[in-house]
């Protein structure tokens, strides 16, 4: 596995050419901008504090015409209608047009809501992603899924709007608080566990290095995540097949998050528990060897990620979430299960069988 950051082309089925520069490059992103095009930066108070909105830092956007900045607060509650509307109204009031570019600077929350604003504004303008959290670098800023939550319904409103350009500056990301860092590792572990056994083994061996943010290990991890995400999104533009594998652990993860009103666990932490439950359920359904399920739990635990149900979230509530998932059809539930490490599959499973498998898995975690 290479240990230097490099550019990774990220394709989507729409043929949109996206280039992810996972380099600590001092060069800012340079999406070719039409001279005079409007530019809106959407950021949050933490990520926004890192840049000066000036020609020197954003030289590549120096030819932009009207520029504005929307600064959100932090947390999942900013990924909602209110803030989507705020961004769109700011763009309209500033007189931006169809050539406007939305530039997201922040983590997955900012990226998702800014991306949806870009998708909606004048029926779609370009979005550029500058992820500043590890989670956003390894996952959310690529692939084009954008959206907002509505009440307890996580990501219920959204679409697929791939970025025109993405650049992660790892120097900034390395300054993340420890818990946020670990939450990002959960999405990297999800990609490895679901898609690539070799990468999974590499991650298990280098768990200590990525946890302590050793630069060569981080470079390899982020690059490999981008390559795998590119591979999947190129196969499946609209989440009709291969892309569903990226949802490993997410149905349960979302239920944990909303069960705690998005207040106690971070998204990546909830996904970690979701992966554990799906690994155990996969074993009970006869798909995944017990040793592989146990290895996945050990790896997540070694990254100091949650592998047990939190207090206050009861199993019945999570079972309801599994039954009510928007991807279900009739008496079947659609879930992403594991057939082996690095080999996941999206399946429709009879609801009763799934609840049985899953109920046993939950029972062992409480």
Ligand X SMILES: NC(=O)c1ccc[n+]([C@@H]2O[C@H](COP(=O)([O-])OP(=O)(O)OC[C@H]3O[C@@H](n4cnc5c(N)ncnc54)[C@H](O)[C@@H]3O)[C@@H](O)[C@H]2O)c1
Residues catalogued as catalytic:
123, 145, 187, 229, 239, 243, 247, 250, 254, 267
Question: Does the footprint of ligand X cover residue 190 (CB under 6 A)?
Answer: no
Spell out, one character per residue from 53 to 82, where the chain touches ligand X: x when CB under 6 A holds, - when not.
---------------------xxx--x---
Distance between CA 306 and CA 312 in Å, rounded?
15
Distance between CA 54 and CA 65 in Å, rounded?
13
Question: Does the footprint of ligand X cover residue 143 (CB under 6 A)?
Answer: yes
Token pair in block for residue 125? 């303008």
Token pair in block for residue 22? 């996972």
96 vs 109 by CB, closer to ligand X: 109
Distance between CA 161 and CA 117 in Å, rounded?
10
33 vs 256 by CB, closer to ligand X: 256
Residue 93 Cβ vs ligand X, minimum distance, rounded to whole Å: 25
Spell out, one character per residue from 289 to 308, where the chain touches ligand X: x when CB under 6 A holds, - when not.
--------------------
Q: Which residue of 20, 44, 128, 200 would you call a contact of ligand X, by CB under 6 A?
A: 44
Distance between CA 236 and CA 341 in Å, rounded?
21
Q: Among the candidate windows 167-175, 204-212, 286-294, 337-345, which touches ligand X by CB under 6 A?
A: 167-175
Rg (alpha carbons) of the chain, rounded to whole number:
20
Token pair in block for residue 361? 């898995």
Residue 208 Cβ vs ligand X, minimum distance, rounded to whole Å: 22
Residue 36 Cβ vs ligand X, minimum distance, rounded to whole Å: 30
Residue 140 Cβ vs ligand X, minimum distance, rounded to whole Å: 3
Question: Does the footprint of ligand X cover residue 169 (CB under 6 A)?
Answer: no
Spell out, one character per residue from 195 to 214, where the chain touches ligand X: x when CB under 6 A holds, - when not.
--------------------
Q: Is 48 helix (H, G, I), strand (E, B) or coil?
A: helix
Q: Where are the beta strands (DSSP E) in the chain?
A: 7-11, 17-21, 39-44, 67-72, 101-106, 126-131, 145-150, 153-160, 165-167, 332-340, 343-350
Question: Does the footprint of ligand X cover residue 258 (CB under 6 A)?
Answer: no
Token pair in block for residue 246? 């990226």
Q: Which residue of 87, 112, 130, 256 would you call a contact of ligand X, by CB under 6 A?
A: 112
Question: Does the footprint of ligand X cover residue 173 (CB under 6 A)?
Answer: yes
136 vs 293 by CB, closer to ligand X: 136
Distance between CA 9 and CA 6 in Å, rounded?
10
Contacts 24+ apart (CB under 8 A), 287-290: 287/337, 287/338, 287/339, 288/337, 288/338, 288/339, 288/340, 289/340
161 vs 283 by CB, closer to ligand X: 161
Binding site for ligand X (CB under 6 A): 44, 46-47, 74-76, 79, 106-110, 112, 132-133, 135-136, 139-140, 143, 145, 155, 172-173, 175-176, 180, 183, 187, 266-268
């Amino acid at each position: 596995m290479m240990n230097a950051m490099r550019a990774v082309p990220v394709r989507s089925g729409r043929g949109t050419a996206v280039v992810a520069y996972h380099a600590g490059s001092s060069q800012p992103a340079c999406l070719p901008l039409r001279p005079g095009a409007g530019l809106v930066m959407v950021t949050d108070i933490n990520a926004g504090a890192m840049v000066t909105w000036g020609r020197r830092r954003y030289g590549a956007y120096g030819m932009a015409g009207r520029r504005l900045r929307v600064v959100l607060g932090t947390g999942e509650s900013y990924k909602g209608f209110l803030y989507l509307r705020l961004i769109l109204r700011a763009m309209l009031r500033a007189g931006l047009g169809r050539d406007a570019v939305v530039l997201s600077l922040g983590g997955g929350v900012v990226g998702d809501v800014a991306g949806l604003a870009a998708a909606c504004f004048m029926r779609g303008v370009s979005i550029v992603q500058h992820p500043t959290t590890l989670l956003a670098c390894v996952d959310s800023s690529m692939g084009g899924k954008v959206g907002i939550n509505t009440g307890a319904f996580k990501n219920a409103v959204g679409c697929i709007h791939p970025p025109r350009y993405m650049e992660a500056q790892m120097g900034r990301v390395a300054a993340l608080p420890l818990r946020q860092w670990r939450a990002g590792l959960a999405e990297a572990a999800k990609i490895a566990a679901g898609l690539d056994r070799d990468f999974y083994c590499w991650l298990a061996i280098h768990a200590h290095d990525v946890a302590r943010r050793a630069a060569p290990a981080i470079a390899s991890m982020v690059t490999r995540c981008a390559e795998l995400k590119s591979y999947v999104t190129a196969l499946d533009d609209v989440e009709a097949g291969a892309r569903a594998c990226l949802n490993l652990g997410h149905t349960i993860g979302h239920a944990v998050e909303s069960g705690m009103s998005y207040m106690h666990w971070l998204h990546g932490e909830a996904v970690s528990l979701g992966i554990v439950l799906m690994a155990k359920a996969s074993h009970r359904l006869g798909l995944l060897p017990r040793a592989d399920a146990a290895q996945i739990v050990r790896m997540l635990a070694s990254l100091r990620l949650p592998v047990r149900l939190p207090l206050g979230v009861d199993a019945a509530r999570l079972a309801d979430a599994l039954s009510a998932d928007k991807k279900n059809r009739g008496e079947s539930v659609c879930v992403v299960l594991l057939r082996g490490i690095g080999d996941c599959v999206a399946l429709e499973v009879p609801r009763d069988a799934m609840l049985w498998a899953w109920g046993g898995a939950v029972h062992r975690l409480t």
